């Protein structure tokens, strides 16, 4: 009996690929520098029994129907994101996912963006490489204090709390809003104050976004919300791009309604507004939230665990549409 064929959209950890090659014929797109174009993704799916996709891959109905023999999608996703789960379910294709394991890595990026945009770290690096040295006490690159300031967390789940923990290390005052207020014990742990969304925006010196993306949270931050923020306040987003109305953010920055932004995710990812790229009070990173070598290796092994389970007709670690699980091979 021939081994099942697996198409991998970008290179993943070699230790995980070695396990996968033991049970399957594996084809890996070797280019890790860019998202695989749709036509090449479809071509790869046509040659595969299983698609191993990454978070940035748009697995829509066209991709899912490109190969009538496609048996599964094993995604390095925690949530559905760019996968047409409804279409996959209609087609009887299980979509496996990974467990929530990116909390600390994402919180690190969030706080790194906060520090970088407040203290002009990215701008200072760029200028110094260009030979510009204003002087150690020049106001040319003077930024904003972080220690002792107020950190407003929009969403106080796993990642929101992890960012709050880092803020406490800087002596920051923690305020938060969330559809579900935390217990008194959790609030005491962070010395956190529960507020309405509007009051968090009005009060915080730094607003860090951590809600899940849903129809209700799409464009949660738009013109009205930016107008509530202090002109000295910054916004940081490591959640999902469409949480912020990017056009409204550009307007707020140009009007100096807020002081700056640190972004790891974008509304039309991987595209980003040219206006944001041109602004020196905006720090941009290319969705690096889980970009830690040890973590990415662990994530890859969970994806491979799922594929091996499917091949062996065993329950995967986790599945976004478990109702379609059945004998596949």
Residues 289, 294, 54, 10: is their CA dihedral positive or negative?
Answer: positive
What's the count of helices (H) and strands (E) in the chain, helices before strands?
13, 12
Q: Which of 240, 246, 267, 301 is catalytic?
A: 240
What is d(CA 226, CA 320) in angstroms, rounded to the nearest whole number? 35
What is d(CA 67, CA 163) in angstroms, rounded to the nearest whole number? 42
Peptide bond into 265 cis (omega under 30): no
Residue 240 among the catalytic residues: yes
Q: Which of 166, 287, 296, 301 is catalytic?
A: 287
Residue holding tokens 């191993």? 52
What is d(CA 112, CA 75) in angstroms, rounded to the nearest whole number? 27
What is d(CA 208, CA 157) in angstroms, rounded to the nearest whole number? 12
**Structural element, H or E, at residue 209:** strand 206-209
Residue 287 among the catalytic residues: yes
What is d(CA 122, CA 282) in angstroms, rounded to the nearest whole number? 9
Contact 9, 44 (CB under 8 A): yes
What is d(CA 87, CA 73) in angstroms, rounded to the nearest whole number? 12
Tokens of 288: 């690096």
What is d(CA 180, CA 155) in angstroms, rounded to the nearest whole number? 9
Residue 198 among the catalytic residues: no
Tokens of 33: 């520098």
Q: Which of 27, 90, 187, 269 is catalytic?
A: 269
**What are the residue numbers of the active site?**
240, 269, 287
């Amino acid at each position: 009996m021939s081994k099942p064929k697996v198409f991998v959209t970008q290179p993943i950890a070699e230790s995980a690929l070695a396990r996968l090659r033991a049970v399957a014929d594996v084809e890996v797109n070797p280019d890790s520098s860019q998202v695989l174009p749709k036509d090449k993704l479809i071509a790869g799916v046509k040659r595969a029994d299983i698609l191993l996709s990454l978070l940035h891959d748009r697995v829509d109905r066209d991709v899912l129907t490109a190969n009538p023999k496609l048996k599964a999608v094993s995604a390095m996703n925690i949530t559905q994101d760019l996968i047409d789960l409804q279409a996959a379910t209609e087609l009887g294709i299980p979509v496996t996912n990974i467990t929530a394991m990116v909390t600390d890595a994402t919180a690190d990026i969030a706080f790194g963006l906060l520090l970088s945009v407040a203290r002009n770290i990215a701008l200072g690096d760029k200028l110094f490489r260009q030979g510009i040295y204003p002087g150690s006490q020049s106001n040319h690159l003077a930024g904003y204090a972080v220690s002792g300031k107020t950190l407003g967390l929009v969403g106080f789940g796993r990642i929101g709390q992890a960012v709050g923990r880092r803020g406490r290390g800087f002596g920051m005052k923690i305020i938060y809003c969330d559809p579900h207020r935390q217990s008194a014990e959790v609030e005491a742990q962070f010395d956190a104050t529960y507020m309405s969304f509007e009051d968090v925006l009005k009060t915080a010196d730094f607003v860090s976004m951590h809600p899940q993306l849903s129809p209700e949270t799409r464009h949660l931050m738009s013109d009205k919300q930016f107008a509530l923020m202090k002109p000295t306040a910054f916004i940081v987003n490591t959640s999902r791009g469409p949480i912020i109305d990017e056009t409204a953010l550009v307007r707020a920055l140009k009007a100096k309604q807020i002081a700056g932004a640190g972004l790891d995710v974008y509304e039309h990812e991987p595209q980003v507004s040219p206006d944001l790229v041109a602004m020196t009070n905006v720090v941009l990173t290319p969705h690096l939230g889980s970009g830690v070598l040890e973590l990415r290796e662990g994530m890859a092994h969970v994806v491979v665990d799922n594929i091996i389970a499917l091949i062996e007709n065993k329950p995967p670690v986790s599945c976004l549409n478990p109702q379609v699980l059945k004998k596949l091979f």
